[in-house]
């Protein structure tokens, strides 16, 4: 009998296995399985994309023609994993059905747990799918917003990318903003129409009645507690707009309590904001100037 060392036994067994093992080929995938695998792979890819990459993927002009997506990403990142409702006014696509709802699809992948609602003057219901739902209606009609909010929940994010006509933009803001909760973000796109008469804007950048004119009033309202205007009554937006971020053609408005308390010391009649320069103080209030008080003293003297 031949005795083999343990190492030789192991290698002999390995050799035997190698010659007898049958390699079973992986079963052929059906076309349906291949399609499903491709879809799974695409979903995996979409979930890891930045907002800009998603904009490019779906073909919305929020990146490319405009440069909005990095701003949105910065202001909305904290909501990425949250459950909430996002409303975008203006679904887009016009006559190109396949391109319709590009931005809604972008939001849907950026906010995987959100309900994505679109409002458009045209019927866009053919893009409703999964968390995306659209409504047909005019952005200046309060009823349509009451219906959407009752059925889909009050949105935490509103994007106005609708008609861009300043009168519409202002009316929509007036209807929707008071209905939003604290912490909500209200965005207005394409504010350049403020300066374009063909879109209902004005040549004069400081003209009243445009979208940007409304935004500038909101900016003044941030400091409403510091106004020295006698009997000034704060407006709703004075007390409920916490921040206004203006970018090229895009405005992002944060809702929240804007009553921090004034910086002026009203009890003593001394305002921290009053000018330390007597000449400037006199110009803004001649009655309080040192010269005026000297004149008064001289007149009073016997």
Interacting residue with ligand SAM among 37, 41, 83, 122 (CB under 6 A):
122
Q: How far is the CB of 123 from ligand SAM (least distance, A)?
A: 10
Q: Which residues contact 167 (CB under 8 A, 6 or more apart)?
A: 200, 209
Site for ligand SAM in 159-188 (CB under 6 A): 161-163, 168
Strand duo 241-247 + 115-120: pairing: unpaired
Q: Using CB under 6 A, count the residues that bind ligand SAM.
A: 20
**Shortest distance, position 104 Cβ to ligand SAM, whole Å:** 7
Rg for the chain, CA atoms, rounded = 32
- Taking the least distance from each CB to ligand SAM, the nearer of 241 and 251 is 251
Shortest approach of ligand SAM to residue 94 CB, angstroms? 6
CA–CA distance, 259 with 225 (Å, rounded to integer):
8
- Helices 51-58, 102-110: axis angle to 10 degrees equals 150
- Least gap, CB of 43 to ligand SAM (angstroms): 21
Q: Among residues 92 and 201, whose Cβ is nearest to ligand SAM?
A: 92
With respect to ligand SAM, which residue has the nearer C-beta, 66 or 240?
66
C-beta closer to ligand SAM: residue 101 or 221 = 101
Task: Return the number of the residue (61 or 254) whose C-beta is nearest ligand SAM.
Answer: 61
Decide whether 88 or 238 has the Cβ nearer to ligand SAM: 88
262 closest CA partner among 253, 254, 272: 272
Binding mask 133-162 for ligand SAM (x = CB under 6 A): -----xx---------------------xx
Which residues does the annotation mark as catalytic?
164
Binding of residue 121 to ligand SAM (CB under 6 A): yes
Minimum CB distance to ligand SAM, residue 103 (Å): 3
- Cα separation, 191 vs 211, in Å, equals 6
Binding mask 79-118 for ligand SAM (x = CB under 6 A): ---------xxxxx---------xx---------------
**Does 51 participate in binding ligand SAM (rule CB under 6 A)?**
no
Give the residues lining the site for ligand SAM (CB under 6 A). 60-62, 88-92, 102-103, 119-122, 138-139, 161-163, 168
């Amino acid at each position: 009998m031949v005795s083999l060392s343990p190492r030789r036994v192991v290698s002999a067994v390995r050799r035997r296995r190698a010659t007898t093992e049958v390699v079973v080929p992986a079963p052929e995938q059906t076309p349906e399985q291949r399609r499903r695998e491709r879809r799974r792979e695409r979903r995996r890819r979409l979930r890891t994309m930045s907002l800009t990459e998603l904009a490019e993927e779906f073909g919305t002009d929020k990146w490319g023609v405009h440069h909005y997506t990095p701003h949105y990403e910065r202001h909305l990142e904290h909501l990425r994993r949250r459950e909430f409702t996002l409303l975008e006014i203006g679904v887009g696509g016009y006559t190109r059905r396949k391109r319709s709802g590009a931005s809604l699809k972008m939001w849907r992948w950026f906010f995987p747990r959100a309900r994505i609602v679109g409002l458009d003057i045209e019927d866009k219901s053919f893009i409703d799918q999964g968390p995306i739902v659209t409504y047909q209606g005019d952005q200046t009609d309060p009823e349509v917003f009451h219906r959407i909010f009752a059925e889909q929940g009050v949105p935490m994010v509103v994007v106005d990318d609708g008609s861009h006509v300043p009168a519409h933009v202002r009316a929509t803001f007036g209807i929707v903003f008071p209905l939003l909760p604290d912490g909500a973000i209200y965005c207005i796109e394409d504010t350049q129409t403020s300066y374009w008469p063909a879109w209902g804007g004005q040549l004069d950048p400081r003209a009243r009645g445009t979208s940007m004119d409304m935004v500038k009033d909101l900016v003044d309202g941030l400091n409403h507690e510091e106004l020295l205007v006698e009997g000034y009554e704060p407006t709703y937006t004075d007390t409920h707009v916490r921040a206004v971020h203006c970018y090229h053609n895009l405005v992002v408005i944060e809702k929240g309590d804007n009553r921090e308390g004034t910086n002026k010391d009203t009890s003593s009649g001394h305002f921290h904001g009053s000018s330390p320069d007597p000449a400037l103080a006199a110009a803004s209030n001649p009655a309080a100037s040192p010269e005026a008080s000297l004149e008064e003293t001289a007149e009073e003297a016997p």
